[in-house]
């Protein structure tokens, strides 16, 4: 039986694949790759959706969002990658 966190993670990456297949000038792509300027408040930064995605993306071995986009453009390859990643994370969650 799959855990709730595993289901959420799988759906999150399926949604990211959907976003990455869109044209580069769309707002959702801009929001995904945007890096805010300026300094932050003192202390530990909050875990945001974007930071969580960046961390998970780095553990997958995808060097950049462009690399992930290249994979996402081929739906079958993206689906295979997401399944493999979720299987790996399932082992970690146990």
Note the pLDDT tens digit of each residue in 45-89: 777 788 888 888 887 778 888 888 899 999 999 999 888 888 876
What rounded mean pLDDT belongs to the chain?
Answer: 83
Residue 38 has pLDDT above 80, yes or no: no
- DSSP structural state of residue 46: P
How much of the chain is helix, strand and coil, in % rounded to 5? 65, 0, 35
- DSSP structural state of residue 64: S
Residue 36's pLDDT is: 74
Distance from CA of residue 17 to its chain's centroid?
8
pLDDT band for position 90 (50/70/90)?
low
Both tokens of residue 38? 């300026």
pTM: 0.75
Buried b or exposed e, range 14-53, using 16+ CB within 10 angstroms:
eebbeebeeeeeeeebeebeeeeeeeeeeeeeeeeeeeeb
Both tokens of residue 9? 């993670």
């Amino acid at each position: 039986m799959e855990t709730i966190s595993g289901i959420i993670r799988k759906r999150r990456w399926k949604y990211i694949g959907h976003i990455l297949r869109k044209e580069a000038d769309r707002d959702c792509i801009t929001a995904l790759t945007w890096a805010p300027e300026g300094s932050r408040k003192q202390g530990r930064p909050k875990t945001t959706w974007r930071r969580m995605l960046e961390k998970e993306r780095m553990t997958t071995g995808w060097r950049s969002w462009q690399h992930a986009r290249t994979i996402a453009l081929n739906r079958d390859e993206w689906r295979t990658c997401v399944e493999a990643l979720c299987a790996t994370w399932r082992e970690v969650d146990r």
